[in-house]
A and B are shown apart, each in its own frame.
Chain A
Amino acid sequence: EVQLVESGGGLVQPGSPLKLSCAASGFTFSSNWLNWIRQAPGKGLEWVASINPDGSSTYYPDTVKGRFVVSKDNAKNTGYLQMNNLRSEDTAMYYCARRQLPDYWGQGVMVTVSS
């Protein structure tokens, strides 16, 4: 059974860093793209980051480029999203999802940026 489990969320102050993890199981993690997608409370879905199967290429929208870094450790079947210089507008539920056209999503982890 394909599973993606996010962790690492919480309440942080503006300007702080936070690192999210996405633990994968039930499929060959090293052969799959990994995406991070977020959803602000009551809002729609927003793409945050993508990484190719071997981790050699990463992609970001302008809204997070230079602040967020996506990575994956294929030996540990785990993906990561390092978020730096967090802003209030980064407050959202963060999901990881596999494949270039995402099929399976995790249950999400909440990140709240507030003083």
Chain B
Amino acid sequence: DIQMTQSPASLSASLEEIVTITCQASQDIGNWLAWYQQKPGKSPQLLIYGATSLADGVPSRFSGSRSGTQYSLKISRLQVEDIGIYYCLQAYSALTFGSGTKLEIK
């Protein structure tokens, strides 16, 4: 089974700051990776698919990158509406979620 190690578990950052969340896959998953944002009481919303492609309607301050089996989500200028929990997901073999990153405003 493929494991996804997500870090950090929580993150407190200032408005306009750059924020980076990473997921390390236990084996090659190609670009079968997505990032989601979840707000309290809501279902997850797709941010990034295919490791680097921005989903429709998602602000351009969100971006995804890949280096080997390490995947990153970057928020270039943190906004208040970006608070929530972020998850990565691999879909190369079955589905495996990262453990989540809780993002708060400092």
Contact = CB atoms under 8 A, between A and B. Distances in A.
A44 B46 contact: no
Contacts of A107: 42-43
A45 B49 contact: no
B95 A44 contact: no
Interface residues of A, number: 19
Interface in A76-101: 95, 100-101
A106 B43 contact: yes
B99 A44 contact: yes
Nearest to B87: A45
B105 interface: no
B47 to A, nearest CB: 11
Given A45-B89, A101-B49, A106-B43, 11 more contacts: A44-B97, A45-B36, A45-B38, A45-B97, A45-B100, A47-B96, A50-B95, A102-B34, A102-B89, A103-B49, A107-B42
Interface of B: 32-34, 36, 38, 42-46, 49-50, 55, 87, 89, 91, 94-100
Interface of A: 35, 37, 44-47, 50, 59, 61, 95, 100-108
